[in-house]
Structure 1
Amino acid sequence: MTRFNGCIDLHHGKVKQIVGGSLLDSSPEKLTTNFVSNRETPSFYSKLYKENQVSRCHVIKLGPNNDEAAKEALAAWPGGLQVGGGITLDNAQKWLSLGASKVIVTSYLFPDAKFSLQRLNDLCELVGKEKLVVDVSCRKKNDKWIVAMDKWQTMTDMEVNKDSLDMLSRYCSEFLIHAADVEGLCKGIDEQLVERLGQWVTIPTTYAGGGRSMEDLKLVDELSHGKVDLTFGSALDIFGGNGVAFDECVEWNSTHA
């Protein structure tokens, strides 16, 4: 069954919800932000997820100046949160030692936007397959989904399809997939992508992007035949949204275990 998984997105040390396609370091004035938590700290969300047994939550560092906030989130729930954003061979073990349950990697696997199997293998050997999540977040191009890196701004040479996911799954234990074109818009999920993922994935997979109501949990469950989980961001009431109540998500998980 499809489950609700939690997220904590960090931008310049604050918990934020951002329209994914607007995240440009070169043009910060174009950044579209749906929510900034000026009251609650990253640890507040960690504790909230922990207390409500929302598993497989991820902390994503969107750009620089987020390490201390990420450490705070991990310290509030040691072993309960995955962490991603700038993960490399040099720092992966550090984040695991700081309490991350798993590390999430994307951009490091694509030097010059070209996939490196060597880097994936090296990272897998270092931390172990069970501690590694590959973020195959993507954007649509000519009716195909292409992995996007560098905060979803750079298209790589990898198409998201059954062959690529089968290959990647030999080196990791989970996928995280942001549909960057609809991320943060609250205008509905990429139904076609979710349906395809249900046909393609063989390991636990969390989809993010466009979720706007509890109906989307039902829709993801139906389209993926229960093989893909969903995370809500901007629509969730704990992030200032009005489309989805956190308590309803917790109840969904408890009744669809």
Structure 2
Amino acid sequence: MLEKVVTNMNFRPCIDLHDGKVKQIVGSTLGYENKEVVENFTSDQGASYYASLFLQNKLTGGHVIMLGPGNEEAAISALQTYPNGLQIGGGITADNAQKYIDAGASHVIVTSYIFHDGQLDMDRLEQLVKKIGKEKLVLDLSCRKREGKWYVVTDKWTKFSDFEVNAQSIKEIEEYCDELLIHAVDVEGKRSGMQEDLVRDLAEWTSIPTTYAGGVRSIDDLKKFESLSNGKLHVTIGSALSIFGGDLDFQTVVNYCEGIE
């Protein structure tokens, strides 16, 4: 029996697409020409299968991420299967964002488009907001720690930007978006446990819906995450889930986050 919980924490599912297939990848191995991509899982099912599963379980706010080219058809199929139930990221720009909204995405997710050449491009950010509205925009502040501080990393997490993630920068950037998505890059996909200090920091700094991803691998981890974040953050679990070849039962996670015994 699961412990009954009362929480604002939601389970936010994910569909990661690589070469047109649903996969779970160690994200930090992407983006390097001479580095082999580490794949934890490749599904026999298409993206629409997972979108249907998330719809059946009434899970909202999940994200579809296109990891490189060749994923648009699969992504669109997921969005059309669960209209207004999924967010989409990967190669989103001011020019194509509306197309994905029209295809059924509740929000678009952006990182590298607004963080390029190592800096936050306010012109691009403002252009995006003007085109689709802040209520349709999720900013991905996936980050790594350097010299004791968190910095956004871009270009498939291969490059540090100069954008420090802290209380002040979070407060400022929240004015331009509806939600935040933050991967703990150094632990994402490794099933090695969460980055606890980042969880604590985000819970303290954020005031809009924020989803953390990286390292949660068990119900005990989920309980610890909930405690560290005071139930304030949402959580994504990928490689550890049974539907992606892991040991953590998908339905058990859904039930726990819904407070079902």
| TM-score category, normalised to shorter length | over 0.9
Which residue of structure 2 lines up, in the alignment, with residue 31 of structure 1?
37
Instruction: Specify the SS of the correspondent of 1:155.
Output: strand
What secondary structure sits across from 1:235 in the alignment? coil
- In the TM superposition, 1:190-201 aligns within 5 A as 190-201=195-206
User: Structure 2-normalised TM-score?
Assistant: 0.94
Partner of 1:54 in structure 2?
59
Q: Which runs of 5+ in 1 are unaligned?
A: none
Q: Structure 2 unaligned runs (5+)? A: 1-7
Establish whether residue 223 from structure 1 lines up as the match of residue 206 from structure 2: no
Does the CA-based 8 Å contact 2:14-2:238 persist in structure 1?
yes
Distance across 1 between alignment mates of 2:126 and 2:187: 31
Counterpart of 1:206 in structure 2: which amino acid?
T
Q: Tell me, what secondary structure is at the counterpart of 2:252? A: helix
Q: Identify the residue that residue 167 of structure 1 maps to in structure 2.
A: 172
1:239 has 2:239 as partner = no
Runs of 4+ in 1 over 6 A off after TM superposition: none
Alpha-carbon displacement from aligned partner over 1:198-242 (angstroms, at most 9, x marks no partner): 100000000001111112221121111111111110000000001
Looking at structure 1, the residues matched to 257 and 184 of structure 2 have their Cα atoms a distance apart, in angstroms, of 23
- Residues 75-122 of structure 1: CA deviation (Å, up to 9, x unaligned): 111111000001101000111011100000000002212111121111
Q: TM-score, length-normalised on structure 1? A: 0.96
Task: Kindly indicate whether residue 258 of structure 2 is the aligned counterpart of residue 254 of structure 1.
Answer: yes
Per-residue Cα deviation, 1:23-75 (whole angstroms, up to 9, x for no partner): 12413x521110001x2110010000000011110000111111111011111
1:3 to 10, 27, 37: 10
Q: 2:25 aligns with which of 18, 22, 26?
A: 18
Q: CA RMSD in A?
A: 1.1
Q: Do the aligned partners of 1:3 and 1:217 also contact (CA within 8 Å) in 2? A: no
Amino acid at match of 1:150: D
Count residues with an aligned counterpart. Answer: 253
Distance 2:156 2:48 in 1: 23
The one-letter amino acid paired with 2:190 is L
Paired-residue identity, %: 51
Contact conserved, 1:20 with 1:182, CA < 8 A, in 2?
no
| Partner in structure 1 of residue 5 of structure 2 | none
Q: Which has the larger displacement, 56-65 or 216-225?
A: 216-225
* Matched position secondary structure for 2:120: coil
CA contact (8 A) 1:24 1:30 kept: no
Letter in 1 for 2:157: W
Q: Distance in 2 between matches of 1:12 and 1:168?
A: 32
1:143 Cα shift? 1.3
Kindly indicate whether the alpha-carbon contact (under 8 Å) linking 1:147 and 1:156 is maintained by their aligned counterparts in 2: yes
2:193 partner SS: coil
For residues 253 and 179 of structure 1, the distance between their equivalents in structure 2, rounded to whole angstroms, comes to 21
Q: Quote the residue 2:123 is aligned against.
A: 118
Instruction: Work out the CA distance in 2 between the residues paired with 1:185 and 1:111.
Output: 27
Select 1:209's aligned residue among 209, 214, 221.
214
